[in-house]
């Protein structure tokens, strides 16, 4: 069972996009210390809600550069 709703996620994303670090949820205000903390909260909410992004990189890609002789 998730503790977050899609509406809460949408509100947090709107605040993040505007650069506002204080979000109201009902009678409660939540103030984030940094935009990085807001982004982490958004990631956690998306993970808990099962939202996946196809355009996010998965894993690590190694590339080797060299010169031909």
Report the percent of the chain where pLDDT is more than 90.
33
Between vectors from CA 12 to CA 10 and to CA 16, what angle results, nearest 5°?
115
- Return the domain boundaries, the chain: 6-49
φ, ψ of residue 27 in degrees (nearest 5): -90, 0
Cβ atoms of 16 and 38 within 8 Å: the answer is yes
**For tokens 């909410």, what's the residue?**
45
- Write the pLDDT tens digit of every residue in 28-52: 898 999 999 999 999 999 888 888 7
d(CA 52, CA 45): 11
Is the whole model's pTM more than 0.75, yes or no? no
């Amino acid at each position: 069972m998730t503790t977050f709703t899609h509406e809460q996620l949408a509100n947090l994303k709107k605040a993040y996009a505007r650069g506002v670090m204080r979000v109201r949820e009902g009678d409660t205000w939540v103030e984030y210390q940094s935009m990085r903390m807001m982004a982490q909260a958004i990631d956690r909410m998306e993970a808990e809600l099962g939202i996946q992004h196809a355009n996010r990189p998965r894993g690590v890609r190694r590339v080797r550069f060299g010169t031909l002789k």
